[in-house]
Structure 1
């Protein structure tokens, strides 16, 4: 499950956050409070970082130290864990980049 969080759930969380932030613009303009948008963005960033951390732990458990590289063993688990770690980390960086303008620009402009 920790691999699928990084591969599928992290990109879905980033896209869902973008949709929710667009939906929360009216609330931010009407009430003058941008904290719901910040809360959604922070939760998505933490989720993406957590999924990358879980995939990193799985990758460390899957890779073998000390075995020769020519030994026949399935490398599929380690490869998927590495890809989940990379995708989860990339999604965390993308989410942080999408969250940054919310700090600088007002919501109603």
Structure 2
């Protein structure tokens, strides 16, 4: 399950956060605050970071040193979890870069 959170959950949450931010721009402009936008982005960032950390711990548990004549199937879970860790880290970075302009720009522009 930790693998799928990094592979599928993190990108889905980042895209959902971006969609929710676009939907909340009119309300944020009308209310004069961008707290709802920051809340949505913070939730997306925290979820992506947690999914990445969970994938990292799963990778450390599955990535054991293999003998020189190992079966290739034994390395597949570690490779998949490593990919989940990379995707989760990329999604965390993307969410942070989408959140950064909200600190500098007004939602009414």
TM-score w.r.t. length of structure 2: 0.95
Question: How far apart, CA to CA, are the structure 2 residues paired with 1:102 and 1:9?
Answer: 23
Distance in 2 (CA, whole Å) between partners of 1:32 and 1:95 is: 23
C-alpha distance in 2, partners of 1:21/1:69? 50
Q: Any idea what the Cα deviations from partners look like across 1:2-53, whole Å, max 9, x if unmatched?
A: 0000000100111111100000001101111110100000010010010000
Q: CA RMSD in A?
A: 1.0
Cross-structure match for 2:22: 22
In 2, the alpha carbon distance for the partners of 1:93 and 1:70 equals: 38
Matched, 1:71 2:70: yes
Q: Distance in 1 between matches of 2:69 and 2:89?
A: 30
Asked if residue 62 in structure 1 is aligned to residue 62 in structure 2, the reply is yes
Counterpart in the other structure of 2:8: 8
Aligned length: 108
Structure 1-normalised TM-score? Answer: 0.95
